[in-house]
Structure 1
Amino acid sequence: MPLPTTPPAPAASRGLLGGLITLSAAQFLIALDFSVIFVALPDISADLDLSGTAKQWVVSAYSVFFAGFLIVGGRIGDRLGARKLFMAALVLFGIASLLGGLAANAALLLITRALQGIAAACLQPSILALVNTTFPAGKERTRALAVWGTVGASGLAAGVVIGGLLTSLSWRWTFFVNLPFAVLCVLAAPKFLPGKAEHGRTTALNVLNAVLCTAMVLVSVFGLTLAADAGWTDPLTLGSFLAAAVLLVLFAGRERVSTQPLVDPVLRRTRSLVMGCSSSALYMASVAGVEFYLVTLLLQDGRDYAPLAAGIAFLPLAACITFGNMIAGKIIGPFGVRRSLTLAFTVGALGLALLGVSATHHGYLAAMLPGLVISGLGHGMIYTSMFVGGTRDVDDRNQGVAGALMTTTQYAGGAFGVAALVLVLGTDPGDEAFRTAFLLAGGVALAGAVIAWIGFGTTTEATDRITEATPTPVGEH
């Protein structure tokens, strides 16, 4: 009787592990760069003599261009291959980081931040596409997304800690720290990440639709940024929103009649993706972007923490985000996305409520720490759950755009949340203003719990169990 043959599982496993490490490191880089700048901002402003507006745009230039180019970046990756875009984006990110660290004036610094945003907009959807096409649907993909989410979400918190340490040396190291990540990921990509899989005839990128989409998102996020700085009734803010509405109408009209739409019509009909995008926006408007903004402001402006001390104060949050992602990876299989994501948003809302209730007390251990721990757990659980649910029903050829849509709504939600909170906080926020702001963010998180429960219904729960029971064999993607 002939002996059965078995595939070289150890070698395949090592390749998958190497790919996951590479993709997680790149995601950590994006998250790190987004948050590391907050702690360094006062030193950057003093060294380069930045005006109040220029200081704000050190953060906003990255966010605006990141959000604006995401969907186009996702479509380019789907057209040309996610691995090619992954490597090209890392090269651009590394060059921009080097120039940013060497910048001698505000103009060059803002240009490099915009370039970092564009590079990250190409990198983010290619990472998610590679995760979802490298690992088969089911338990393997859920575990991979949990690891990817753990590293990426913890990067937001770790960035504040690392930023505090590096800023004590020089703010320029908050840019230079990106270079090793970029170089190592570029070198590892050809070895561990799959090349482009063929899905029939590859169509060209619809340039006009891409320009309209990019302009629409750029102007929208620009308007939200202006709303946070100049106010919602400022003429330039209102003009930006009007221009965004016109561009939206033009883009939607072009997409409807185009034979080569930027966003495949099937994606607009994919309920799980629509619900994932909604969850993503509410996540960033509550336990992610808004919480980081509020906690950083409270620690450094309200409690006079030095950059390093503020970074250390974020350590429990970083640890709990990591643990929250691990919890999500364990519970999504047996409980489904609906229950997992609803629970995650509820936990996040509870943590924000605790931070709000304790805002009038100035002690760290008794006042802030419980809220940071609980909200951190919710943060990590949401991050993994929403991406597992949002991208699960999307085929491989559209994974880049699907990930880009979720990330675009994520950062648009964060920009809207911060702009709204500026009205609540005022120019010189006190303890009561912080209390109101945290409670408002907690209310947004509760809205996320409601959306998750309604949006990911019983059909989705059945799909979860079928997918977990019958995973796709490796290679059939």
Structure 2
Amino acid sequence: MATLLTANFTLAVDFSILNVALPHIGADLGFATSALQWIVTAFALCAAGFTLFFGRVADLFGRKRLFLIGIVLLGISSLAGGLAQEPALLIAARIGQGLATAMVTPAALSLMTTMFPEGPARSKALGLNGALMAAGFTAGAVLGGLLTGAVSWRWAFFINVVVALAVIIVAPIVLREPAQGTRPKLDVPGAILITAALVALVFGIDNAGHHGWVHPGTWAPIVGALILFVVFLTIEGRVKEPLVAPGLLKRRNIGWGNTAGLLAFGTFTSLVFLLTLYLQEVLGYTAITAGLILGVLGIGTVIGGLIAPKIIGATNAKTAIVTGLIVQAIATAPLAFAGDSRSWLIPLLILTFVGGVANLVAIVGYTVASTAGVPANQQGLATGLVTMSQQVGIALGTPVMSAIATGMVAATLLPGLQLAIGVNAGIAIVAALLIALFLRLPKAAPVPAA
């Protein structure tokens, strides 16, 4: 567990550690300002686009094996990124980090879910994982600012090399995986279609944040992604050994559980983006100070991940999701009235702390719900879906909230931020209602196929 949690925490840090450093990287390596987005986009496209594919590969060819390959790739690509002297090599390194994330995250999650049977032990493991991953997102922003200011942005890459070496040494000794029986064939057409669809979707969403929703570079990839999804589902119903069994997607705990995860990640990661703008552009704090202020939110997420298993044990995963989303919405709504005075800092700290706790309760709940009742030989696929909903939610939330915040014609940014935060709280409430109405947990886990 320590090895798996360390790996996932490191990958979560990678999502945000370079955000503060982008201007410095551009100046050092000669990136055009318009091209800096590709440092983030290249990572996101691969991390989200390939996660479902690698989740299934983990089931077919071994989770431990894929985990180790991903960690090796993380170490090599991070070393290349830290040593990069030109933009092309840095982008290649970020692609390698994104692919490593797509390999390691579902493999690590499926190792956890097969290591522990359904119940309190699995909920506790997933709670710890959720707590550390959420802490990683927040820590990445703070650590990136500190490293860039104190040493160099290159250490944001070199830290991964140290972690990867430690995991490579320890993991082969401590990780265990049950022996697998007959391995089915990989559905290559399905894998190509779903990967292309996810890459197109994330690319379109990412473009929305830079060019707006009516730009051809936004809506054309999104429409293409929807067409590819339809073709994928059609083919999967006819293939003898599909990448995603249609029956799995029809399970209400999986379909609606992952919907909850997408909305939980989308609302709260985009709220962090909005609050970062509020703290810097409205209240006038520096980037490092803003990151440290949001560290309180990170503490809340860690606590939420630790108490979530107890809530799930006392009730169930569905109740945890619904309760978490409602409390998150209640904590977010007052921030829609935040003014331009620094007297709002204390209420902001309290509300984001409470919201962070609640969000992680919902996230752990959706992870437990979305892997419940799934046979061991499909856990890689189930955790691939969990990872996919997480990463698509992260990619979707910020452009949507950014478009709302900047779409208002006003003398200052504050009215737009207030509107976006209000919409954010509304989405959390709607998500809670949808999950309360439509999510159904399996009554008992099925007996895995021999």
Mapping for residues 365-384 of structure 1, pairs under 5 Å: 365-384=345-364
Please report how far the alpha carbon of residue 389 of structure 1 lies from its aligned counterpart in structure 2 after TM superposition.
1.3
**Counterpart in the other structure of 2:155:** 173
How many residue pairs align between the two structures?
Answer: 446
1:63 aligns with 2:44: yes
Tell me, yes or no, if the aligned pair for 2:17 and 2:143 is still in contact at 8 Å.
Answer: yes
Find out whether 1:337 has 2:317 as its counterpart: yes
**Equivalent residues in 2 for 1:154-193 (5 A)?**
154-168=135-149, 169-193=151-175
Q: Contact (CA 8 Å) 2:283, 2:340: kept in 1 or not?
A: no
- Show the counterpart of 1:327: 307
Between the aligned partners of 1:299 and 1:379, the Cα distance in structure 2 is 21
CA distance in 1, matches of 2:99, 2:208: 22
Query: Hey, what does 1:99 align to over in structure 2?
Result: 80
Indicate whether 1:212 and 2:193 are aligned. Answer: yes
CA contact (8 A) 2:67 2:108 kept: yes
Hey, what's the Cα distance between the residues in 1 that align with 2:201 and 2:318?
30
> How does the TM-score come out when normalised to structure 1?
0.88
TM-superposition CA deviations, 1:95-140 (whole Å, max 9, x none): 1111111122222222211211111011111011000011122111
Q: Tell whether the 8 Å contact from 1:61 to 1:117 is kept in structure 2 after alignment.
A: yes
8 Å CA contact 2:333, 2:421 repeated in 1: yes
Which among 431, 434, 439 is matched to residue 417 of structure 2?
434
Matches within 5 A, 1:234-245: 234-245=215-226
The within-5 A match list for 1:387-466 is 387-426=367-406, 430-457=413-440, 463=443
Match among 143, 148, 162 for residue 129 of structure 2: 148
Using the alignment, how far apart are the partners of 1:105 and 1:215 within structure 2? Answer: 28
Query: What letter is aligned with 1:438?
Result: I
C-alpha displacement of 1:364? 5.7
> Is contact 1:86-1:126 (8 Å) kept?
yes
Question: In structure 1, what is the Cα distance between the partners aligned to 2:384 and 2:88?
Answer: 28
Contact 1:316 1:369 in 2 (8 A): yes
TM-score with structure 2 setting the length: 0.93
Query: How far apart are the structure 1 equivalents of 2:83 and 2:418?
Result: 40
The structural deviation recorded for 1:62 is 0.9
What letter is aligned with 1:341? Answer: I
Cα deviation, residue 342, structure 1: 0.9
Which amino acid is the alignment partner of residue 153 of structure 2? W
Q: Which amino acid aligns with 1:295?
A: L
Aligned counterpart, 2:288: 308
Partner of 1:269: 250
1:378 Cα deviation (Å)? 1.4
User: What's the offset of the Cα at 1:399?
Assistant: 0.9
How far apart in 1 are the matches of 2:158 and 2:290?
21
Q: CA RMSD in A?
A: 2.3
Q: Structure 2 CA distance, aligned partners of 1:310 and 1:174?
A: 19
Matches within 5 A, 1:37-76: 37-76=18-57
* Alignment deviations for residues 245-285 of structure 1 (CA, whole Å, 9 cap, x no partner): 33223222221111121112331132211121110110122
Residue pair 1:78, 1:398 contacting (<8 A) in 2 also: yes
How far apart are residue 357 of structure 1 and its match?
2.0
Q: Distance in 1 between matches of 2:113 and 2:249?
A: 19
| In structure 1, C-alpha distance between the alignment counterparts of 2:400 and 2:137, rounded to whole Å | 21
> Does the CA-based 8 Å contact 1:353-1:371 persist in structure 2?
no
**One-letter amino acid of the counterpart of residue 376, structure 1:** G
Partners of 2:106 and 2:380 within 8 A in 1: yes
Once the 2 structures are TM-superposed, how far is the Cα of residue 196 of structure 1 from its aligned partner? 4.7
Q: Deviations over 1:188-240 (max 9, x none)?
A: 22222113531x32112122221111111101111111122112221222321
Amino acid across the alignment from 2:122: R
Q: How many angstroms apart in 2 are the aligned matches of 1:300 and 1:181? A: 32
CA contact (8 A) 1:354 1:370 kept: no
Q: State the partner residue of 2:109.
A: 128
Aligned partner of 1:7 in structure 2 is none
Asked if 1 retains the 8 angstrom alpha-carbon contact of 2:406 and 2:413, the reply is no
Deviation of 1:296 after TM superposition, in Å, equals: 2.6
Instruction: Identify if the C-alpha distance between structure 1 residues 96 and 340 changes in structure 2 by more than 3 Å, giving closer, same or farther.
Output: same
Aligned to 2:228: 247
- Whole-Å separation in 1 of the counterparts to 2:327 and 2:241: 42
Listed one character per residue, the Cα deviations across residues 411-458 of structure 1 (whole Å, up to 9, x for unaligned) are 22332222222221228961111111111111111122112312334x
Structure 2: which 5+ runs fail to align? none
Structure 1 221/47 Cα, relative in aligned 2: closer, same or farther at 3 Å? same
State whether residues 200 and 222 of structure 2, in contact with CA within 8 Å, keep that contact through their aligned partners in structure 1: yes
State the distance in 2 between where 1:291 and 1:344 align: 16
Paired residue secondary structure (2:176) = coil
C-alpha separation between the residues in 1 aligned to 2:376 and 2:110? 7
2:283–2:341 contact (8 Å) kept in structure 1: no
Closer/same/farther in 2, CA of residues 340 and 79 from structure 1, 3 Å limit: same
**Alpha-carbon separation, structure 2, partners of 1:191 and 1:344:** 38
AA at the equivalent of 1:79: L
User: What CA distance in whole angstroms lies between the structure 2 residues aligned with 1:302 and 1:97?
Assistant: 35
1:224 to 192, 202, 205: 205
Between 333-342 and 299-308, report the one with greater CA deviation: 299-308
**CA distance in structure 2 between the partners assigned to 1:95 and 1:191 by the alignment:** 21
Question: Residue 38 of structure 1 aligns to a residue in which SS?
Answer: coil
